[in-house]
Amino acid sequence: MAVEEDRTTLEAVGRLMLELAETRGKMKTIKDDLKDIAEQNEEYRNLQEELKEVSEKRATAKKLLEADKDYQVVNSELEELKFKYKDLQEIMSHHLVTYFSETNETQLTTPDGETLQVVVSAKLGKEVAN
């Protein structure tokens, strides 16, 4: 029975992969159509040009900021904290998956007494070389 369920699940995954690819293609076509329509609008084109000019000024200002020593120190500290935060999130994810697989519970109570939902999700990654 488990083999039948596995095959059925894999067939469903295969069908969904095809439907996802088809839907992604349709979305791209519609996005391209919307872009074409927007670019035909004179007001939109004018605003796009203004945004381009402001973006260039912002890039220049950012380069000046990045040359500032105080900015570099604070920015470096922020980057370290971002890395630490991402690392902690990955560790938390691992522990939550372990908690779920051991208990099959979708809620947990924190040491502070707060009850939180455990969200377990999965997605397909990049193709693995064989």
Contact 110, 117 (CB under 8 A): no
Q: What span, in angstroms and rounded, lies between the C-alpha atoms of 119 and 93?
A: 10
Three-state DSSP state, 107:
strand
How many of the other CB atoms lie within 10 Å of CB of 107? 9
- What's the CA angle centered on 115, arms 112 and 120, to 5 degrees? 125
Q: What span, in angstroms and rounded, lies between the C-alpha atoms of 31 and 99?
A: 41
The larger pLDDT score, comparing residue 62 to residue 130, is at 62
Whether 93 has a pLDDT exceeding 70, the answer reads: yes
Confidence label for 2 from pLDDT (cuts 50, 70 and 90): low
Whether 4 has a pLDDT exceeding 80, the answer reads: no
pLDDT tens string 14-66: 999 999 999 999 999 999 999 999 999 999 999 999 999 999 999 999 999 99
Return the pLDDT at 129. Answer: 86
Tokens of 13: 């995954």
Q: Which residue has the tokens 């992969």?
A: 17
Residues in Cβ contact with 124 at an 8 Å cutoff, skipping those fewer than 6 apart: 17
Return the pLDDT at 130. Answer: 78
pLDDT tens string 53-89: 999 999 999 999 999 999 999 999 999 999 999 999 9
Return the pLDDT at 73. Answer: 97
